[in-house]
Structure 1
Amino acid sequence: MSHLSTPDFQPLEIAVLTVSDTRSLHNDTSGQALVTSLQRAGHALAERRLVIDDIYQIRAVVSAWIADPKVQVGLITGGTGFTTRDNTPQAVAPLLERTVDGFGELFRQISREEIGTSTIQSRAIAGITNGTLICCLPGSTGACLTAWEKILVQQLDSRTKPCNFVPHLKRLPERPVLACGTRS
């Protein structure tokens, strides 16, 4: 399976959505942690949004990402718990062509070291649709960093062997080369 990795890093276009009834972009530490982490890893922020925990608002944003030829990955933070206002998994699951069952399993296994058996209350899920990887993460900053640092940073790196998600993601449209050899 080494054919699923490449010797050169391929930066991805990653969108971040925070699902919250109480946060704004100014006090959204979880979304900001994901933005900072993905940029530090060499990826580009395609879009950053915040919506209330409403199935249809979540679905509208994720559907737009899936249809957008420039969004390769969507990271969603929040709405994965068990309260009646936690709707992210049921909003996103019908949009997924293929689920990445191992993502939630691995996230809960890793989280057990940090929060003990409370990890069973996480409904973290992931899947791929139209070449877009969608990952639903808990709303806590610590959980987002755990998912990024212990799973996503490797799986979104084209150099990770024996395999990673990059070959399964949509290819970005070619940017025209300008006269000086730089890209627009």
Structure 2
Amino acid sequence: MRAEERNRVKLAQRGDADVLANLLHEHYAFLYKYLVKVTMDPVMAEDLTQDTMLRCIEKINLYDGTSAFSSWLMTIGTRIYMDQMRRKKTEKSWLVKEQGIRQIRWQFESRNEEWSDVLESLAKLSTEHRVAVLLKHYYGYTYEEMGEILSIPSGTAKSRVASAVGQLRKEMS
């Protein structure tokens, strides 16, 4: 990092808002162009650039000068982007699961079959826990057999069942 930029960063870290504003202004276009290439979405890149600038303002005192200021901004922007992608993946997974639950409930009800609270609670368990409970308490497998089916130690199968039953009890009460 150039000596001039290093001095300006130190001033910004000491609370000089004008210097910080100028630093951010100088790096805005560079960061935006980088994030457009990362996201392939100009609107998302704009939002990420603004989020990165805000995070920089909040965390300017954490910048240690071991890398270029622009590299630090790119790191922040990349991490924010990765976090958002993880969050979107989780949300999408949740929505798909909820849609599946609604379809199953509709199928039960359309055939005048009862959709019980137990099924509702089972649907809220993670896949690992739901499979463990079903294998043990619905199909009657031993923990050893469950371990073989799931390719896990029998102790892990037992632990999953216990955890799932605890979640179900909490959910049902």
TM-score (norm 2): 0.25
**Larger strand share, 1 or 2:** 1
Higher relative contact order (CA 8 A, sep 6+): 1
TM (norm. structure 1) is 0.24
